[in-house]
Amino acid sequence: MKITLVRPAPEHQAAATAFRQAFFDAGETVINGSELLDQTESYDDWLKAVTDNTNTETVNPEWVVTDTFFAFDAEEKLIGIIDFRHELKGFLVDFGHCGYSVRPDERCKGYATEMLRLLLEYAKKCGFESLQLSVERKNAPSVRTIVKNGGTYERSFAFEGETADVYRIIL
């Protein structure tokens, strides 16, 4: 399977807008791992924020250095998004290093598994030895995505009345 992780750029505006709309059309208002693409009307504003957040000098002081990647398939269709938060502080101590989503009409094709695999390769190149990922226990596809990438259960916490589990992936 050919999936490519690409940093968001100005030329992705139309694809990103269609990607975002695909979630809303499917009745999903939250796009996990999208660094608030779901809540930001202006692509330019979102692009500036995610670009600023890649750098220690320009990161939002209320956030942590974060890499955000679009995932493109072999036909160069934008099928997913994944982020990598370099530091765990505040609520991220529970939420972990990484969130991701696959376009609703492109699920169950192995894309999330491959996106996370590529992200782990990148994190290793950045010098990380392990990543922590959290998932609501009832989110079976995401649990499988993490376990298939080597995640082992560490602990649980309560989130919005549900049980969420923290996994660790050794790189």
Ligand X SMILES: CC(C)(COP(=O)(O)OP(=O)(O)OC[C@H]1O[C@@H](n2cnc3c(N)ncnc32)[C@H](O)[C@@H]1OP(=O)(O)O)[C@@H](O)C(=O)NCCC(=O)NCCS
Question: Which residues sit at the interface with ligand X, rule CB under 6 A?
Answer: 32-33, 99-102, 107-113, 135, 139-142, 144-145, 148
Taking the alpha carbons at both ends of the chain, their separation in whole angstroms is: 21
Closer residue to ligand X (CB): 69 or 111: 111
Closer residue to ligand X (CB): 7 or 109: 109
Minimum distance from residue 150 beta carbon to ligand X (Å) = 14
Minimum distance from residue 52 beta carbon to ligand X (Å) = 22
Closer residue to ligand X (CB): 52 or 136: 136
Minimum distance from residue 57 beta carbon to ligand X (Å) = 28
Minimum distance from residue 15 beta carbon to ligand X (Å) = 17
Closer residue to ligand X (CB): 49 or 116: 116
Beta partners for residue 135, in sequence order: 165
Minimum distance from residue 134 beta carbon to ligand X (Å) = 8
Closer residue to ligand X (CB): 32 or 53: 32
Nearest to 68 by CA among 112, 8, 128: 8
Nearest to 98 by CA among 120, 126, 113: 120
Beta partners for residue 72, in sequence order: 4, 78
* Residues near 27 by beta carbon (within 8 Å), at least 6 away in sequence: none
Alpha-carbon distances of 155 from 15, 59, 89, 111, 136, rounded to whole Å:
37, 30, 17, 26, 12
